[in-house]
Structure 1
Amino acid sequence: MSIVSLATGDPTCNLSDLQALATANNFTIQPNSANETAFLLFANSFDATCQAVQNLPKYHDPRLEPLQVEGGERTYYRPDEIENPLNGWAHKTTLRLPGAKGVLAGKTIGFKDNVSIAGLPLGLGCSPALLKDGKHPISTIDATIVRRVLEAGGTVRGTATCENLSMFALSYTSDSGVVHNAWLPGYATGGSSSGCAALVSIGDVEEARNSGRDGRKYELGEGLDMAVGGDQGGSIRLPAAYSGIYGLKPTHGLCPYTGIASLNPMIDHCGPMTRTVEDTALLLQVLAGYDGIDIRMSPESPLRENVPDYTGDLSAWIAKKKEVGEWTPTTSAKGLRIGILQESFQAPGLSEEVRSTVLAAANRFRTLGADVKTLSIPLHAHAASIWTVATRPQMPHFIANNPPDLLTHPLPDLDPSFPTQDFFDNLANRNPAVVNVLMNAAHIQQRYGPALVRKAHMHAWQLRAAYDQALEDFDVLLTPLNPTVGPRHPKGTVKTEANPHGRSERVMELFEPAIGNTLNTCGLNVTGHPALSMPVGWGRVGDDGEGRLPIGMQVVGKRFGEGMVFRAAKAWEVGGRWTDS
């Protein structure tokens, strides 16, 4: 079809529109010229092409069509404060397949509120005022991981609160308010998968109460057996560490991200958050494997039928060690090569309490029979800077739900409205990190241009190679996670009669507690290595030091080497679970 025939309808672009298009591209077209006539025709031809696609009916890939659940209709509700005292729930439902059987049968699972579950709102932790139609869209697709959980017999109980647009490392920026730590309400759960961590950790708190180790009597509400969080810079691992559960950022491209709101495909990860190593391995086995849609997956990503039997492999390894008498508090880690990453213990802001607790946990591997050595990766000290510059310029593009350059399946109905003055006014005193990302992206574009971003991408390869080389000599690397134990929620985020929305008037009150939280985590998002947050001890909190909150340790493995990470974590537990300390 020719340009002329496409443009024979009523023109939608006039000369003023044409000149505006030229100005947007930093040039002008001579008025009353042949060029002006030709390019006006081109503009109207292109608009006719756009209208042709605009008029097509909506299409969803059938692999994402909602599964038929028990009862047929999918319903949901927003629980009130009495039912949801920690504010961990975004929306509750009950979805399972008829006659559900499978490895997750009897397990309850929740998803971070940036995951598409057909029939439920996609909340993103943000105000509906940030969306063009002023309301959260109701998802019309099931994310790949939702379908897999249902097909494995799991019961989907709903979505868990997440931090505003998934961009904060602590748990007080969600539009619905603070998410309380189940171990100590009033303190941070960690973010951005904050609700996931709070709801999963309820089980451990209840167990402590039932055993008489914790005599406090505040309300917890319903918890979850498992959850699936998202992680672009630490958003699974940090809340897991603050909350005393296990949280795995799998190898990049192992678990499909299809149907989940993106911050940047280079660093988008989703993964399990559970109370045990075994459940983490089990849920990973359900989630993992190529889905044929996600651009984050590569030739290294296993097909579904080739996903390792993580639970079976772990059980077989333990059985073999038991057979030779090595599953003991002095030999369970025999044969493992453990590396303590020196630079990770030098991160600015790391408290002495966290440093000493994680070092003691790392050194426990010696008593368990492992070969433990300290190693140095100097580039680790620059990992956060590399992550920031390599990924930040593209974040506004993906926050807006713009599709990437490669074919994928975007979220069908999500249409954020930014940047505007209303956008700034809504977020500056709720989650200033989002505004900061937009400002940073503009800063790089205006002052440095794409050359700096290209350089950061090349250094990301260098950082990956540095970790890869270290993991030739070690089975896993160990680092701290949360730089301090969970801090109190800032006063300005607590809802009162005078401040019913919990909106702080002081930006630094919100921002300062989160500074440096991702220094040991975000670099692994650009390199793609698997990293597990595992709880290893307690830290003191409160003015009198009488409160206590969990401390986590990060276990890093080779890319697609999750099995070894599970072995190391399980061997450590033979010396006693963290709750026993």
Structure 2
Amino acid sequence: MLVALGEADMALGGDQGGSIRMPASFSGIYGMKPTHGLVPYTGIMPIEIYVDHTGPMTASVADNALLLEVLAGPDGYDSRQINVKTHPYTKALQGDIKGLKIGLVTEGFAQANAEKDVNAKVKAAGKKLEALGATVGEVSIPMHMVAPALWMPIGTEGLTQTMMWGDGYGVSRPDLYVTSLMDFHRNWRNRANEMSETTKLFTMFGTYIRRYYGSRYYGKAMNQTRVLTAAYDQALGEYDLLMMPTTPIKATELPPVDAPRELYVERALNMISNTAPFDITHHPAMAVPCGMSDGLPVSLMLVGKHFDEPTIYKAAFAYEQAGDWKKM
């Protein structure tokens, strides 16, 4: 399965009811968010060009690596593909992980809504990786806690200008524009009442900011993102991989049909605090299932250096082969 990865969950707060749970951690799914631009985005409707990533979601690490091997590389259309470095990813699925250094990011376990059982499962996975030969230590990256605040102006203003007012594509890029999709999407203006509460909110908020403040907050956030990227790069200079919960919480129930707007928005955004930072720093990150709690899956996230997906696959494969994740 090929999916567009990012924080598109904020646009999902539709009118579904009942007790269906949102897929905060997909059961048995290995999801790779590759380095930004590694996989071409051509033909996929953007949300925000700087944030959007494309990557594979599969039932095994081997399938994931194989699919990325097929997908990765420049396509001649996507202007975001700059100095792309591809690898034979399936070759990373061999040997042991002895000597691999993995840093547990302190702040990744300290989110305001973090659940103790989720943190415990991910830390137990760290112990398992240590038993397999990796060196696992703790590393503090204070800027990780403010990263969502940097993501917000980029995601909000980018979504408004590109996906909404820009008919799904925006301007100023020599990409392949799918005009039929642009024409279709433009019709949202005639059906705005049918959009999710979060899409309405972000579109109005982004429009308000642009009208009264211009793009200064987008620019300020983008400038600070360089500092954030450097903070992760510094930690990745000491460790081969960084690790934390993919989501600080287990899957939550979808809001009922008559839920207040506040609940829709809260449910759409309460799982992205650990993943959003790497949308804007563009580091590759992979979700790896690592246990069950209360009948729901828990997932760990492995983050690597730019274009170093092979190291992520190496660790993920070793963990996968160590046993049935549902029993860990």
Matched with 1:564 is: 311
Q: How does 1:428-439 map to 2 (within 5 A)?
A: 431-439=196-204
For 1:525 and 1:537, locate their aligned partners in 2 and report how far apart those are by CA, in whole Å.
Answer: 25
In the TM superposition, 1:285-304 aligns within 5 A as 285-298=69-82, 300-302=83-85
Deviation at 1:256, TM superposition (A): 0.3
Tell me whether 1:371 sits opposite 2:118 in the alignment.
Answer: no
Q: What do the CA deviations read for 1:1-35 (whole angstroms, capped 9, x no partner)?
A: xxxxxxxxxxxxxxxxxxxxxxxxxxxxxxxxxxx
Alpha carbons of structure 1 residues 390 and 171: separation in structure 2 relative to 1, 3 Å: closer
State the match for 2:92 in structure 1: 313
Task: Tell me, in whole angstroms, the C-alpha distance in 1 between the residues paired with 2:68 and 2:214.
Answer: 39
Opposite residue 355 of structure 1, the aligned amino acid is: N
Partner of 1:481: 246
* Residue type at the aligned position of 1:457: M
In structure 2, the CA distance between the partners of 1:244 and 1:186, relative to structure 1 (3 Å rule), is farther
- Aligned mates of 1:271, 1:255 — CA distance in 2: 7
2:21 counterpart of 1:188: yes
Partner of 1:252 in structure 2? 36
Distance in 1, matches of 2:11 and 2:218, equals 27
1:111 positional shift: 4.9
State how far apart, in whole Å, the 2-side matches of 1:447 and 1:579 are.
51
Unpaired segments of 5 or more residues in structure 1?
A: 1-109, 115-161, 179-184, 191-237, 319-331, 493-503, 541-547
What number of residue pairs does the alignment pair up?
322
- 1:490–1:510 CA contact under 8 A, matched in 2: yes
Task: After superposition, give the CA deviation of every residue in 1:38-77 in whole Å (9 maximum; x if it has no partner).
Answer: xxxxxxxxxxxxxxxxxxxxxxxxxxxxxxxxxxxxxxxx
Task: Give the Cα separation in 2 of the matches to 1:579 and 1:505.
Answer: 33
The corresponding residue for 2:271 is: 517
- Using the size of structure 2 for normalisation, the TM-score is 0.90
Distance 1:353 1:411 in 2: 45
Verify the 8 A CA contact 1:242 1:482 in the aligned structure 2. no
Cα distance change, pair 411–170 in 1 and its aligned pair in 2 (3 A): closer
Given residue 244 of structure 1, which amino acid in structure 2 is its aligned partner?
G
Q: 1:276 aligns with which of 46, 60, 63?
A: 60
SS at match of 1:413: helix
Q: Within the alignment, does 1:469 sit opposite 2:234 as a pair?
A: yes
CA–CA separation in structure 1 for the residues paired with 2:180 and 2:189: 20
**1:126-275 to 2 correspondences below 5 Å:** 167-168=8-9, 173=14, 186-190=19-23, 238=24, 241-275=25-59
Q: Offset of 1:514 from its aligned partner? A: 3.0
CA separation of 1:388/1:418 partners in 2, compared to 1, >3 Å: closer, same or farther?
A: farther
After superposition, the C-alpha distances for 1:525-545 in whole angstroms (9 at most, x for unaligned) are: 1111000000000111xxxxx
2:220 maps to a residue whose letter is K
Structure with higher helix content = 2
Q: Contact 2:65–2:90 (CA<8 Å) still a contact in 1?
A: yes
2:104 alignment counterpart: 340
User: RMSD value over aligned CA atoms?
Assistant: 2.4
Is 1:426 paired with 2:194?
yes
| Counterpart AA for 1:514 | A
Give 1:407 shift: 0.9
Identity of aligned residues (%): 33
TM-superposed deviation, 1:354: 1.0
Give the Cα separation in 1 of the matches to 2:180 and 2:155.
Answer: 25
Which SS does the other structure have where 1:403 is aligned? coil
SS at match of 1:242: coil
Letter in 2 for 1:473: E
C-alpha distance in 2 between matches for 1:449 and 1:397: 12
* Contact kept? 1:348, 1:516, Cα under 8 Å: no
Among 148, 156, 162, the residue aligned to 1:398: 162
Q: Distance in 2 between matches of 1:354 and 1:275?
A: 21
Relative to structure 1, is the Cα distance of residues 410 and 312 closer, same or farther in structure 2, using a 3 angstrom cutoff? same
Whether contact under 8 Å (1:189, 1:242) holds in the other structure is no
Equivalence for 1:495:
none
Other-structure match for 1:386: 150
Matched-pair contact (CA < 8 Å) for 2:98–2:134: yes
**Is the alpha carbon distance of 1:373 and 1:505 closer, same or farther for their aligned partners in structure 2, counting shifts above 3 Å?**
closer
Poorly superposed stretches of 4+, deviation over 4 Å? 169-172, 418-422
Q: Distance in 1 between matches of 2:107 and 2:265?
A: 24
C-alpha offsets along residues 375-397 of structure 1, whole Å, 9 cap, x if unaligned?
A: 11111111111111123213222
Residue 374 of structure 1, CA deviation = 0.5
**Aligned residues of 2:74 and 2:84 also touching (Cα < 8 A):** yes
Deviation at residue 552 of structure 1 after TM alignment: 0.4
CA 578–564 in structure 1, closer or farther in 2 if over 3 Å, else same: same
The alpha-carbon distance between structure 1 residues 505 and 348, as it changes in their structure 2 partners (threshold 3 A), is closer
Q: Secondary structure of 2:70's partner?
A: helix
CA distance in 1, matches of 2:126, 2:324: 14
Structure 1's 313 and 334: CA in aligned 2 closer, same or farther, altered over 3 A?
closer
Alignment partner, residue 536 of structure 1:
290
Map Cα deviations across residues 92-112 of structure 1 (whole Å, 9 max, x no partner): xxxxxxxxxxxxxxxxxx555
- One-letter identity of the residue aligned with 2:63: D
Change (3 A) 1:360 1:523: same
Letter in 1 for 2:207: A
The TM-score, its normalising length taken from structure 1, stands at 0.52
Partner of 1:413: 180
Residue deviations 1:300-331 (CA, integer Å, cap 9, x gap): 214xxxx311112323xx2xxxxxxxxxxxxx
Instruction: Say which SS state the counterpart of residue 243 (structure 1) adopts.
Output: coil
